[in-house]
Amino acid sequence: MSTHYSVTGRTAILRIDNPPVNGLGHATRKGIAQGLRRALDSTDVDAIVLTGREGSFSAGADISEFGTARTTAAPSLGDVIAALEDAGKPVVAAIDGTCLGGGLELALGAHYRVATSSSRIGLPEVHLGLVPGAGGTQRLPRVVGADVAADMISGGAPRTARELEDLPGQRLFDRLVDGDVIAAAMELAVEVAAVRPLPRVRDLSVGRDDTAAARATHERLRRRSRGFVAPAEALALVEKAGTTPFEEGLAEERKTFLELMNGEQSAALRHAFFAERAARKVPDVRPKTPARTVDKVAVIGAGTMGGGIAMTFLGAGILVTIVESSREALDRGLDAMRRNYQRQVERGKLTADGLEQRMALLTPTLDYADLSDSDLVIEAAFEDMDVKRSVFTRLDEVAKPGAILASNTSTLDIDAIAAVTGRPGDVLGMHFFSPANVMKLLEIVRGAKTSDDVLVTAMAVGQRIGKTGVVAGVCDGFIGNRMLARYRDAATALLHAGATPAAIDSAAEHFGFAMGPFRMADLAGNDIGWAIRKRRYAQDPGTPREEISDALCEMGRFGQKTGAGWYDYAPGGREAIPSPVVEELLASFHAEHGTKLRTFEADEIVQRLVFALVDEGARILDEGIALRASDIDVVYIAGYGFPRYRGGPMFYADTMGAAHVLSGLRRFHGDDGWEPSPLLMRLAAEGGTFN
Ligand code: NAI
């Protein structure tokens, strides 16, 4: 039974009990409807309290039902809510913990609501590419006003009951308590037992705050959801709540909900959601493998990455020892962290006390002996094998037995690093992305000898510090950067064939990438790739030259930091302005090489970029570097700005069909010697999919 019915005095208590999150699957909906009917039919009952489990009123729809007949099987959530709202006896919702999505819609169908102040209230459907489908877009604006509702529904972020209670004119809660919510709801039920007519949310009018600030919020919401359909639909429905009769708004909401549910974006977003869950499991590791305890962390190197990594742990309240090789580098690193925190304080994201609390958890040192009590050490020193070897030799001497030794290397061989220690089972890669305190992705690189509990611990630590962890095998570039190299090559090939940086970036951004490849290169710094190329040219004179990129760097156009790169920038500015210098550079390259100039449609540009990712992803999958295609999708969404509403490169390839991807790649590569990945060829021949 996923609902329980009991009577105390003359009040019926209807309790939803469907662990873990009180999802409103078919059996639960039926249980609520039957319980309500029983209470209404009983002459011993005057009022009904509808509640959930401690910590969860209900987290909403049961998404594992999506796409099955059970989602639509009667009674629908809309039917249950209508029955509550039209009930002839008062219904009081008693809310504790999560009250999200369908759970909040259900509560809005009750006549009264009592909540604990810490309850989390929200309509997060946009994250799955949907709008609320059981009246949320029409009822929430009636109790919190159109503007707050627009923000909550189109942004999807939950708020605490306390925050909502403090809004002027809110009518969402009748009472807020810090203790026993059921007792408070029972009390209210007795008080209102004889009230008629019963208050219904649908009968309220929509308040709105037509101020410049509210309009700015809407504008921000619209901008933030570029390319993403559900948030814009949500805004339109909230508008409707204020301008059309309730029933009409409800019908419109239903129609939009069903369209979105059957659309591509929701399918992609649901894939992304399940992909992130799947990434937390490693098939060949015993499910209940215990993680090691991690209370104290040490970071080696206080540079760009070390500082960001340290901040990530400090933000989670974890003690960090940071080790540098010189006093100057240590001071520089600490200054950079403090300045970074200071900027957060200025932007109102951190309090001055918060800043000091974080810094107080940090122990800076020049002495490796100070990390002897650390449970996890993350090395972020220079990207040089000799440096890594000497650091890990030293770590092996000073770290306590059982400490986990991780490297943040982006390209070097974890097995070779592990081999210099007497404990290769304790070594693995923890590859963060820049800026490490902001970017969600964490590649957890499993060496040949990494023990299972070390892997499990690194994954658990990743979750604790709010990262999206994905397990990768050892190879140059792991999952993300190895694919990125192919993506960059495709961008360079387009440039050589006559497309402009602005055309390429605009196509990529229109597709939904956070930033096109050239704007991204200007942000990251063109000199980094140049240094790597120069090393390769020296090592192997046969390496093909990236003439245009090299020429750009020879002019000192390293990107935003030098005020010029693939684009021009106003002093200190970030806006990319197409550059006549680059135009000239391209023109002379094309003249010299006799490029047959042609125009590139945005579609072709996107396919060249994305199919390159897919081809390399297929190799990574085939070689077992990634455990599943969906892990690759997670890497690209969390770490590389791939539009989440397209599900990641491998999911996108599945929607296109492997044969289509393969024939596109063949066309784009012509006779340049490229061979398709064996897996892509197999799938194209069989009509199979990656995911
Ligand atoms: P960085 O040059 O900014 O910082 C390295 C720091 O390590 C310097 O402050 C240096 O003084 C210190 N250091 C060098 N040897 C040391 C030693 N033996 N003991 C203690 N400290 C030592 O370099 P960055 O960018 O922070 O990179 C660090 C590592 O992270 C590299 O392996 C890099 O490949 C990797 N990485 C870098 C990313 C990036 O975007 N910068 C992204 C992901 C990984």
> Same structural domain for residues 533 and 643?
yes
> Same structural domain for residues 441 and 494?
no
Domain end (from 240, 262, 284) = 262
Closest to 304 (Cα-Cα) out of 332, 278, 267: 332
| Half-sphere exposure for 418 (CA within 13 Å, toward CB) | 20
For ligand 1, atom 25, the nearest C-alpha belongs to: 304
Residues with CB under 6 A from ligand 1: 300-306, 323-325, 329, 333, 380-383, 387, 391, 408-410, 431-434
With beta carbons less than 8 A apart as the criterion, state whether 105 and 132 touch: yes
Q: Pull the structure tokens for residue 244.
A: 């059309």
Classify residue 95 as left (phi > 0), alpha (psi -120 to 50) or beta: beta
Residue 223 pLDDT: 78
Checking if the pLDDT of 226 tops 90, the result is no
> Same structural domain for residues 468 and 505?
no
294-315 pLDDT, tens digit per residue, is 999 999 999 999 999 999 999 9
- 333 CA from centroid of ligand 1 (Å): 11
- 432 CA from centroid of ligand 1 (Å): 12
- The answer to whether residue 279 is domain-embedded is no
426-452 pLDDT, tens digit per residue, is 999 999 999 999 999 999 999 999 999
For ligand 1, atom 29, the nearest C-alpha belongs to: 380
Q: pLDDT band at residue 69, thresholds of 50, 70 and 90?
A: confident
Question: Residue 442 is inside which H or E element, if any?
Answer: strand 441-445
- The answer to whether residue 219 is domain-embedded is yes
Q: pLDDT band at residue 209, thresholds of 50, 70 and 90?
A: low
Checking if the pLDDT of 211 tops 70, the result is no
User: What's the angle, vertex CA 89, arms to CA 84 and CA 92, rounded to 5?
Assistant: 60
> Same structural domain for residues 319 and 434?
yes
Closest to 114 (Cα-Cα) out of 94, 99, 91, 100: 94
Q: pLDDT band at residue 221, thresholds of 50, 70 and 90?
A: confident
Tokens 């590419």, residue?
129
With beta carbons less than 8 A apart as the criterion, state whether 527 and 556 touch: no
Is residue 509 part of the annotated active site? The answer reads no
* Residue type at position 510: H
116-139 pLDDT, tens digit per residue, is 999 999 999 999 999 999 999 999
Supply the CATH number for residue 576's domain: 1.10.1040.50
Residue 486 pLDDT: 96
Residue 210 pLDDT: 66
- 211 CA from centroid of ligand 1 (Å): 48
Residue 492 pLDDT: 94
Catalytic residue among 54, 65, 125, 247: 125
With beta carbons less than 8 A apart as the criterion, state whether 163 and 176 touch: no
Phi and psi for 485 in degrees, rounded to 5?
-60, -40
Q: Which of 12-16, 211-215, 541-545 has the lowest mean pLDDT?
A: 211-215
Residue 300 pLDDT: 98
For ligand 1, atom 4, the nearest C-alpha belongs to: 303
Which range marks the domain in which residue 325 is found?
A: 296-476
Taking the C-alpha atoms of residue 464 and residue 273, their distance in angstroms, rounded to an integer, is 18
> Same structural domain for residues 452 and 491?
no
For ligand 1, atom 11, the nearest C-alpha belongs to: 329
> Same structural domain for residues 162 and 56?
yes
Report the share of the chain in percent with pLDDT over 70.
Answer: 99
With beta carbons less than 8 A apart as the criterion, state whether 314 and 288 touch: no
Q: pLDDT band at residue 187, thresholds of 50, 70 and 90?
A: very high
Atom of ligand 1 minimally distant from the CA of 306 = 26
Q: pLDDT band at residue 400, thresholds of 50, 70 and 90?
A: very high
Listed in sequence order, the residues at least 6 apart from 162 whose beta carbon sits closer than 8 Å to its beta carbon are 117, 118, 176
Listed in sequence order, the residues at least 6 apart from 666 whose beta carbon sits closer than 8 Å to its beta carbon are 676
- The answer to whether residue 273 is domain-embedded is no
665-686 pLDDT, tens digit per residue, is 999 999 989 999 999 999 999 9
Residue 183 pLDDT: 98
- For residues 223-227, give the mean pLDDT: 80
Question: Residue 50 is inside which H or E element, if any?
Answer: strand 47-51
Higher per-residue confidence, 68 vs 23 = 23
> Same structural domain for residues 394 and 519?
no
Supply the CATH number for residue 404's domain: 3.40.50.720
Supply the CATH number for residue 102's domain: 3.90.226.10
CB-count exposure of residue 142 (10 Å: 0-12, 13-18, 19+): buried
Q: Pull the structure tokens for residue 655.
A: 């929607």
User: What's the angle, vertex CA 421, arms to CA 416 and CA 425, rounded to 5?
Assistant: 80
54-64 pLDDT, tens digit per residue, is 899 999 998 88
Checking if the pLDDT of 67 tops 80, the result is no
Taking the C-alpha atoms of residue 560 and residue 575, their distance in angstroms, rounded to an integer, is 9
348-389 pLDDT, tens digit per residue, is 999 999 999 999 999 999 999 999 999 999 999 999 999 999
Q: Where are the alpha helices (DSSP H) in 52-160?
A: 69-72, 77-85, 102-109, 136-144, 146-155
CB-count exposure of residue 464 (10 Å: 0-12, 13-18, 19+): middle
- 568 CA from centroid of ligand 1 (Å): 29
With beta carbons less than 8 A apart as the criterion, state whether 408 and 383 touch: no
- For residues 575-604, give the mean pLDDT: 95
Is residue 253 part of the annotated active site? The answer reads no
- The answer to whether residue 271 is domain-embedded is no
For ligand 1, atom 3, the nearest C-alpha belongs to: 303
Classify residue 226 as left (phi > 0), alpha (psi -120 to 50) or beta: beta
**ipTM of the complex in this document:** 0.99
Q: Which of 137-141, 211-215, 509-513, 526-530 has the lowest mean pLDDT?
A: 211-215
For ligand 1, atom 20, the nearest C-alpha belongs to: 324
- 321 CA from centroid of ligand 1 (Å): 16
Domain end (from 241, 262, 283) = 262
Counting the structural domains of the chain, the total is 3
> Same structural domain for residues 428 and 406?
yes
The preferred substitution site among 382, 383, 433, 467 for testing ligand 1, maximizing ligand atoms within 8 Å of CB, is 382
Taking the C-alpha atoms of residue 472 and residue 302, their distance in angstroms, rounded to an integer, is 25
Residue 357 pLDDT: 97
Residue 94's DSSP bridge partners are 51, 114
> Same structural domain for residues 362 and 502?
no
* Strands (DSSP E) found in 268-426: 296-300, 319-323, 362-365, 376-379, 404-407
With beta carbons less than 8 A apart as the criterion, state whether 429 and 401 touch: no
> Same structural domain for residues 122 and 237?
yes
Report the predicted TM-score, pTM, of the whole model to 2 decimal places: 0.92
Atom of ligand 1 minimally distant from the CA of 409 = 32
Checking if the pLDDT of 635 tops 80, the result is yes
DSSP character for 544?
A: P
- 331 CA from centroid of ligand 1 (Å): 15
Mean pLDDT of the chain, nearest integer: 95
- The answer to whether residue 579 is domain-embedded is yes
- The answer to whether residue 280 is domain-embedded is no
Residue 220 pLDDT: 80
DSSP character for 154?
A: H
> Same structural domain for residues 406 and 486?
no
Catalytic residue among 105, 276, 509, 616: 105
- The answer to whether residue 38 is domain-embedded is yes
- The answer to whether residue 267 is domain-embedded is no
- 344 CA from centroid of ligand 1 (Å): 23
For ligand 1, atom 9, the nearest C-alpha belongs to: 303
Atom of ligand 1 minimally distant from the CA of 323 = 20
Q: Helix, strand, or coil here: 392? A: helix
* Residue type at position 541: P
- 392 CA from centroid of ligand 1 (Å): 14
With beta carbons less than 8 A apart as the criterion, state whether 654 and 689 touch: yes
> CA 362 → CA 14, 375, 485, distances in Å?
50, 15, 36
Residue 62 pLDDT: 87
Residue 438 pLDDT: 95
For ligand 1, atom 30, the nearest C-alpha belongs to: 380
Residue 218 pLDDT: 76
DSSP character for 545?
A: P
Domain end (from 218, 242, 262) = 262
| Half-sphere exposure for 184 (CA within 13 Å, toward CB) | 19
> Same structural domain for residues 50 and 78?
yes
Q: pLDDT band at residue 212, thresholds of 50, 70 and 90?
A: confident
